[in-house]
Structure 1
Amino acid sequence: MSDLPTLPVTFRPGRTRAVLLTAAVAIFVVITVIALLLPQLSPGEKISFVFTAALLAGVLLTLSRPKVVAEETGVTVVNIASSRRLEWAEILQVHLRPGDPWVFLDLSDGTSLPALGIQPGIAKQQAIADARALRALAEARSTAHPDTPRG
């Protein structure tokens, strides 16, 4: 199929990620500058301000982590606190229904895995296109190995 993306391909919520990364930098810089400019703060208080700024920025950076990486051998789903590697044959269906916060992958073990790397949030049309591309890749890759059972 010529409409399939070239592998490897990484799907990310680009606009959401840009907002989170910008906010992380801005919060860190603003709180740090305030801490350094306030003369009534002791050195320990200044350090606690900078530590708090780093902590808040770290949370935002963690929230910007989700992605879905499709490669020849399978898919890696990186969510906020976890990462899971899947073979193409393990993915039965790719869903992004109206109102879903992100893509869900139906797996051959009977479970469903959220893939936060494709989420409609700020960029709905991009998420729909990414979900279709991942669905097409999963369908093409699973039929490339007919000996693998598909539940």
Structure 2
Amino acid sequence: MSVVVSSTVEFRPRRIRVVAWASAVFLVVSFTVIGLLLGDTPTGVIFRTSDQVAMIVLGVLLAGGVLLLTRPRVRADAEGIEVRNVITAHRFAWSEVLHVSFPDGASWARLELPEDEYVSVMAVQAVDRERAVTAVRALRELHRAAIG
């Protein structure tokens, strides 16, 4: 089956984004409720306003950490491919890439590079099933067209 490839393709994971956003909202709401409910307790522990604010801020920080999982993206065109994972981003010319692969049992695709090196493409995840297949086919088609 041939995949029609436009001049630029972009893929982002779908399921992890839904889960991450739901988790982030849950964390903020939970820590806000807990922070607001903190107060004098029968045990004698006294929580001050600064403690309540700290709980809410902690929830926001944890939610921000979870939302980093929504960052992965792969963007490719005729010249090369840009892979943005959770923290890092790399751009490769197609001539630097040996293969676009998705090893059996792997969680995400990867770019095979010279000297047995590889870069994970976290934007193409196995849990996205058919979207992952479409993404790998499109990336392979661009790779094939670029290297001749």
Please indicate the TM-score interval, normalised by the length of the shorter structure. Answer: 0.7 to 0.9
Q: 2:100, 2:140 within 8 Å by CA — same for their partners in 1? A: yes
Q: 1:96, 1:128 within 8 Å by CA — same for their partners in 2? A: no
Matched, 1:134 2:139: yes
- How many Å separate the matches in 2 of 1:25 and 1:87? 38
Partner of 1:69: 75
Matched, 1:101 2:104: no
- How many Å separate the matches in 1 of 2:6 and 2:48? 56
Q: Which has the larger radius of gyration?
A: 2
Q: Deviations over 1:50-86 (max 9, x none)?
A: 1210221111111221111113432110111211011
Q: Residue 130 of structure 2 is aligned with which of 109, 125, 130? A: 125
- Normalised TM-score (structure 2): 0.84
- How many Å separate the matches in 2 of 1:109 and 1:68? 22
What letter corresponds to residue 44 of structure 1 in structure 2? S
Aligned-residue offset at 1:4:
2.6
Pairs aligned (count) = 141
What letter corresponds to residue 64 of structure 1 in structure 2? T
Q: Residue 47 of structure 1 is aligned with which of 53, 59, 67? A: 53
> What fraction of aligned residue pairs are identical, expressed as a percent?
33
Q: 1:13, 1:119 within 8 Å by CA — same for their partners in 2? A: yes
Q: 1:75, 1:87 within 8 Å by CA — same for their partners in 2? A: yes
| Alpha-carbon distance change, 91 to 77 in structure 1, aligned in 2, over 3 angstroms | same
- How many Å separate the matches in 2 of 1:136 and 1:65? 24
